[in-house]
Amino acid sequence: ETEIQVLRGLNLHIWKGDFVAIIGASGSGKSTALNMMGLLDTPTSGIIFLNGKDLSSLTDEERALLRSQKFGFVFQQYNLIPWLTAYENITLPLIFAGKKVEATELEINSQKIGLKERLTHRPSELSGGEQQRVALLRALANEPEIIIGDEPTGNLDSATGNKILEMLIELNKVQGKTLIIVTHDV
């Protein structure tokens, strides 16, 4: 009934390989901006470009395909499938993208962030921090060019949060991944 103009006037350029932190108060539109950039939401006006291509005319199926090929998401609420194990949740993007699961690499990454022994557990059997780490590994599973994180270290203890941040920084610096992160931390 009431129109709310959240991102009016937003003009943002993010280049390949950038590490961008979006900081702002609750309710300021940070998550909405991420959803627009990640093709999860469609703007009522304006244009979103990716690699010079206007994405405003894509069908829902084309948007979904592009998301599975280019993006990895770490959501604030994790969005894990409750009846799947941690391993199955992590590999879900690969199934959607029609890619092969590299079990060895998944084990190495899960070991790095303390999840190796928890891969057979369902989300309800994991702590909030473990669920967030599963969400991060799921975001990285399809080796996306762009990683979008909504408070990716928000529910983690400082030591684990620092490991996750180091992993993201390494992905950016070594592999040239584009990182777009919403955070309240400065």
Q: What does the pLDDT read at residue 145?
A: 94
Q: Determine the length of the chain.
A: 186
* Per-block mean pLDDT, blocks of 10 residues, the chain (186 long): 81 94 86 90 87 88 90 85 95 85 85 90 92 90 91 78 83 93 74
Contacts of 96 (CB under 8 A, 6+ apart): 68
Distance CA 80, CA 122 (A): 9
DSSP state of 101: P
Q: Considering just the CA atoms, what is the radius of gyration of the chain in Å?
A: 17
In one-letter notation, the amino acid at residue 13 is: H
Q: What does the pLDDT read at residue 168?
A: 86
Distance CA 50, CA 27 (A): 26
Q: What is the pTM of this model?
A: 0.85
Strand, helix or coil at 146?
strand
Q: What does the pLDDT read at residue 176?
A: 93
Distances from the Cα of 91 to the Cα of 100, 118, 141, 162, angstroms: 9, 14, 6, 24
Q: What does the pLDDT read at residue 186?
A: 53
